[in-house]
Amino acid sequence: MAAVEDRENSFTDENNCSTVQERLSKRHQARQEEAERRKEERDRGSLTEEKRDYFITEFSREKAAIEALLSAQELEQAASQTALLQKFLNDSILFLPSYDLRQAQAALQKLHTAINDARGEARPKKKFAFKARTKATDVKDVTHANADATHANADVTDAVHERIETEQCTFSNLSGVTVTITAQEVSQRDVLLSHLEDCRVRLQGAPSSLHLKHLQRCELLCGPVSSSVFVDHCEQSVLVLACQQLRTHNTKDTQVYLHVTSRAIIEDCSGVSVAPFTWSYSGLDQDWTVSGLDRNRNNWNHVDDFNWLSTTEASPNWTVIPEEERRSEWE
């Protein structure tokens, strides 16, 4: 009996020893894995900091070179270099802190403005006197309605194209018309649309920036914008946009079909709804290339509401358009 007990005690001791060794081995392995994980994090952090330092140095150098081109009135070369600098920023968004991103975006916007201002000073100014509002509801004769609308749209389009050539892609005070603007007219230029009612606007191409102000019951489709889109006082409209940054103010009851590589921002807005960008047209692929936007990075449903401070509840000022209600055909 004593021999049996000794054997059992010996087996128990061996089993306990084996269990302790296994625990020690697992603990040692866990320590090694944790040490490797921390090292990888340090390496990633160091690499990110190196990328950030490189970006800041290169961005500052290129910005100074563009400013020198502007001083020498080398406007087209300055515009070309600015487009490349915009692409450099777009490619660097993932590792840039938000402060550096905002600073770079502001610097690029100043360059775009300076280039367009210089172009305007170098170009002889013509007065643009298009003031009439053409309303589709004024056409009462059904037999001649299509012809009258065609002539009205042709007159408006001619006036818009004249303004594009002389006043840097701006037009306003239109009602009840359809206007199409080509890629050649807006490519890498600032575009301003203001005080439009019941209009359908098609902007093909890759503008440098887009400003939309005081739009009511409008449908606007725009090709990829290299930098920012600014929306202010827009109501009961549909906007189809692709851009690097979207900032929307004082806007309500408006749908936005969006491709945006950073996070969209709304402020003082209500009834804004979003869905992915769905417009397609001949030449769109080339416009994506010119814009420098990343087609694989789309934060369409990441919206920051500057009037909503809660971190636990979603903002009531914007929603996602249900898939069954989204539009994919625009013509």
109 class by beta-carbon count within 10 Å (0-12 exposed, 13-18 middle, 19+ buried):
middle
Contacts of 108 (CB under 8 A, 6+ apart): 82, 85, 86, 89, 227
pLDDT at 131: 37
User: Beta strand 264-267 with 245-249: parallel, antiparallel or unpaired?
Assistant: parallel
Q: Please indicate, yes or no, whether residues 187 and 117 belong to a single structural domain of this protein.
A: no
pLDDT at 183: 87
95, 121, 147: which is the final residue of a domain? 121
More confident residue, 55 or 146: 55
* CA 256 vs CA 199, 289, 305: distances in Å: 16, 22, 15
Q: Please indicate, yes or no, whether residues 103 and 137 belong to a single structural domain of this protein.
A: no
- Comparing CA positions, the residue from 81, 76, 83 lying closest to residue 66 is 81
Summarize pLDDT for 142-175 with one digit per residue, the tens.
233 334 444 444 444 444 444 444 445 777 889 9
Residue linked to tokens 């360059």:
111
pLDDT at 324: 95
Reply yes or no on whether the pLDDT at 245 is more than 50: yes
- Assign 261 a pLDDT band (cuts: 50, 70, 90): very high
- Decide: 171 and 199 in contact? Cβ < 8 Å: no
**Of 4-8, 142-146, 270-274, which range is least confident?**
142-146
Summarize pLDDT for 207-216 with one digit per residue, the tens.
989 999 999 9
pLDDT at 213: 94
Reply yes or no on whether the pLDDT at 53 is more than 90: no
Q: Please indicate, yes or no, whether residues 172 and 292 belong to a single structural domain of this protein.
A: yes
Summarize pLDDT for 91-149 with one digit per residue, the tens.
777 777 878 887 888 888 788 888 878 877 766 544 433 333 334 333 333 233 334 44
Mean pLDDT of 222-228: 93
Mean pLDDT of 177-185: 88
Tell me, rounded to whole angstroms, the distance of Cα 141 from its chain centroid.
Answer: 44
Q: Is residue 331 part of a domain?
A: no
**Which pair of structure tokens corresponds to residue 222?**
């725009």
Q: How far apart are CA 129 and CA 93, in angstroms?
A: 43
Q: Please indicate, yes or no, whether residues 185 and 207 belong to a single structural domain of this protein.
A: yes
pLDDT at 189: 85
pLDDT at 327: 95
Mean pLDDT of 229-247: 96
Q: Is residue 188 part of a domain?
A: yes
Q: Please indicate, yes or no, whether residues 114 and 142 belong to a single structural domain of this protein.
A: no
Mean pLDDT of the chain: 79
Q: Is residue 168 part of a domain?
A: yes
Length, in residues, of the chain? 331
**Which pair of structure tokens corresponds to residue 232?**
């202010």
Mean pLDDT of 284-309: 92
Q: Is residue 234 part of a domain?
A: yes
CATH at 259: 2.160.20.70
Reply yes or no on whether the pLDDT at 49 is more than 80: no
- Assign 197 a pLDDT band (cuts: 50, 70, 90): very high
Contacts 24+ apart (CB under 8 A), 82-88: 82/108, 82/111, 82/112, 82/115, 82/208, 83/188, 83/208, 83/226, 83/290, 83/292, 84/292, 85/59, 85/111, 86/226, 86/227, 86/244, 86/292, 87/292, 88/55, 88/58, 88/59, 88/62
pLDDT at 137: 36
Q: Which amino acid is at 33?
A: E
Mean pLDDT of 248-257: 97
172 class by beta-carbon count within 10 Å (0-12 exposed, 13-18 middle, 19+ buried):
middle
Contacts of 13 (CB under 8 A, 6+ apart): none
Q: Please indicate, yes or no, whether residues 138 and 105 belong to a single structural domain of this protein.
A: no
Helix (H, G, I), strand (E, B) or coil at 243: strand
**Which pair of structure tokens corresponds to residue 162?**
């004249």
121, 151, 181: which is the final residue of a domain? 121
Domains contained in the chain, number = 2
Q: Give the structural domain span for 194.
A: 131-325
Exposed e or buried b for every residue in 28-48, given b needs 16+ CB within 10 A?
eeeeeeeeeeeeeeeeeeeee
96, 121, 146: which is the final residue of a domain? 121
Reply yes or no on whether the pLDDT at 247 is more than 90: yes
Q: Is residue 126 part of a domain?
A: no
User: Beta strand 170-175 with 190-197: parallel, antiparallel or unpaired?
Assistant: parallel
Q: Is the dihedral of CA 46, 48, 54, 57 positive or negative?
A: negative
Q: Please indicate, yes or no, whether residues 302 and 237 belong to a single structural domain of this protein.
A: yes
